[in-house]
Structure 1
């Protein structure tokens, strides 16, 4: 080995042992430039009424402005000084010299990931009804607003209104605000921001077993639980489970039926034959 080569190796070893080299080894991201969209971890330094300051170590100090705190209210309410948090970079250096961050974007990414996992697993879980419109119910899961369509309500909660009056349906749906419904995720599309859930699909294993035991031409006994312009609902028991089925207006009688109320009344005991089992 030449003296020059030996000197080069010695210099490299000294450089590797220098305080600066040890600092880089301990913080490999220290010299990496931040870009919009990067996910960073830091410690909450200060919480102000309209902003939150985050220590990002060697990368600097981050700031979350009020609009992002409001959007991520579920996250912000639980944050305390000294807490470790994750955020998404909006601007690597704003006009004040801070790294502008978003709690909302970071928390939403995690929320969508959890919702997608629930969709894949078919998990059944409670969702609180936040509001109603004429098409269904508004729910909120993992900080994400979603929709439970009327068509995906269980037989118990389906708004049976004679004549299908939309205002009466809306009034019935509003009664569910504040309640918890067991649901399954049907659609979780983070790109479109679309979350759709179903109560009807959230059937217990016991109820699925009861339905599985029903075959075409099986005769059942029950009571009329509701009458609508397109038929009659009948509630009956099977395998210890309360089930409900629809007798379509076309199956109420041999002759033409104009008004189902002429052939049945709520509470009336009836016998019926199963024609098909769906959903």
Structure 2
């Protein structure tokens, strides 16, 4: 007796079902340790999280992995949420897949760090702590380290002063950094604020040199003081304020009127694109006392002043901050005076007669010998010198 074929089975449909089964088995990739898989959370309990990663068995996030997560991170774990997991063990004794959320995040962070090392992009991190060697800060789920030699936010200090207090002051601050070393095996992620600052300043330098115009008023920070002036950081490039442009009055040394780190407003005097130099003025952002000089001084007026410095041809006397007059050597005393130091000294307070006021030339001519004698104040040595003359 011949068997009749099953009337309910469509041969074509049966072949399609078989083909899908074979194809699915063929495309299936068994999870192995070190794989990063995307999955969907199935359930969340106190001790474990079950995740569907498309394997034949559900993956388990162990309680040990969960214990290292912050409360905020744990609160985000909910059924239906998609997450990446790292395959820790593909075949434990119970046939379960053991996975880690933290290791997946760390792995992704190491990949991102490597990409940043190759691209040279600048990122920002928040300093979370420090040790004697430098600063530490979180880069995703891994720890980055900034050696002290790569930190530009530290104040310049001598070796004897390096007690770690400067590093402590940077905790909580956000710093721009570049990745300069990635070693996943040794868990070394080295960052550099100096490299980021160097690149940022180079870009800013080019921008500022093209933007700055004579007469512009900019805000900057005093970066260095020297005998001939002060350097001001304009936010990427330093400009020089010559000592003669620090104040309207005479300045012996820049440290008498400024200090490193002080914020100041300066006027741009000149921009040398080729030599990348910028000349600045501090005093021109302040009222010019010579503009109203005619309202305060006139020829024939008797006034007091202080000797600021001596020259072979006479003595300069400050009448007010920013206003100096010259007592020519011939007007110091009666008779022939070879050296002004024979008559006056720096710091002497004198009563002088104004001979001429030239606001256009910024000159005031003074006389000591023609000033009323009873109002003169001088040191005993100065008085003796005048009597001898």
Matched, 1:38 2:35: yes
Q: TM-score, normalised by structure 2?
A: 0.48
Q: 1:210 to 1:128 in 2, by over 3 A?
A: closer
Output the CA distance in 1 between the equivalents of 2:186 and 2:203: 36
Secondary structure at the counterpart of residue 195 of structure 2: coil
Contact 2:183 2:189 in 1 (8 A): yes
- Paired residues in the alignment total 223
Cα distance, 1:184 vs. partner?
0.8
CA contact (8 A) 1:224 1:265 kept: no
Residues 180, 104 of structure 1: alpha-carbon distance in 2 compared, 3 angstrom cutoff: same
Unpaired runs of 5+ in structure 1? 1-11, 215-221, 227-233, 245-263, 270-279
CA contact (8 A) 2:47 2:62 kept: yes
1:62-119 Cα distance to aligned partner (Å, 9 max, x none): 1011222345658655433212222222222324432111222222221111111112
Alignment of 1:89-238 (within 5 A): 89-154=87-152, 157-167=153-163, 170-203=164-197, 207-208=201-202, 236-237=231-232
Q: Higher relative contact order by CA 8 Å / sep ≥ 6: 1 or 2?
A: 1
Shift of 1:163: 4.3
8 Å CA contact 2:151, 2:194 repeated in 1: yes
| 2:31–2:55 Cα contact (<8 Å) kept | no
Q: RMSD of the alignment, in Å?
A: 3.9
Q: What whole-Å deviation, never above 9, does each CA across 1:152-193 have from its counterpart, x for those lacking one? A: 111xx21433443342xx122111111111111111222221
Q: Which has the larger radius of gyration?
A: 2
CA distance in 2, matches of 1:89, 1:206: 40
**Runs of 5+ consecutive residues of structure 2 not aligned to the other structure:** 1-10, 210-220, 240-254, 261-389
Give the Cα–Cα distance (whole angstroms) in 1 for the partners of residues 230 and 97 of structure 2: 61
The residue number in structure 1 matching 2:56 is 59
